[in-house]
Amino acid sequence: GATIVVSGDGRYFSKDAVQIITKMAAANGVRRVWVGQDSLLSTPAVSAIIRERIAADGSKATGAFILTASH
């Protein structure tokens, strides 16, 4: 029943990877997946969402998949 954030920096194959991750998350019981518009979010934005965003039902994200070539 967790909530996760999935997004990336727009590199090649990001949109396809987000779709695969979302399907795998749903198949493994993840309740909600938050995805950036057009699958785009910076690493600091994902961090802020995990720490600050609260859903209408009071839940928060418990983790994320960030698709980036950083580090």
- Which residues have a Cβ under 8 Å from the Cβ of 60 and sit 6 or more positions away? 3, 50, 53, 54
Tokens 């839940």, located at residue: 59
* Active site (catalytic) residues: 70
Beta bridge partners of 65: 6
